[in-house]
């Protein structure tokens, strides 16, 4: 249990650091991998009409969204 707790605490610390880093950069200037553009193109091809600026959890759970 102590090892698992220590791991969870360390993972949380890393997550906070990464979140602070990506939150401090303008999103359109942020590049995490060299494949970002391909990932985004495929995402848009799959989810053409999805508005990522306004996500509604209930809408995502609807039958047409599934």
The pLDDT tens digits along the chain (66 residues) read: 899 999 999 999 999 999 998 899 998 888 889 999 999 999 999 989 888 888 888 888 888 877
The end-to-end CA distance of the chain, in Å, is 38
Block residue for tokens 């809408």: 59
Block residue for tokens 């090892």: 3
| Under 8 Å between Cβ of 21 and 13 | no
What predicted TM-score, i.e. pTM, was given to this entire model?
A: 0.53
Per domain, the residue ranges of the chain are 1-65
CA distance 53 to 50: 9
């Amino acid at each position: 249990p102590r090892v698992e707790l220590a791991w969870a605490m360390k993972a949380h610390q890393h997550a906070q650091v990464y979140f602070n880093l990506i939150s401090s950069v303008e999103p359109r200037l942020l590049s995490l991998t060299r494949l970002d553009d391909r990932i985004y193109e495929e995402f848009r091809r799959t989810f053409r009409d999805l508005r990522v600026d306004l996500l509604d959890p209930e809408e995502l759970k609807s039958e047409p969204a599934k």
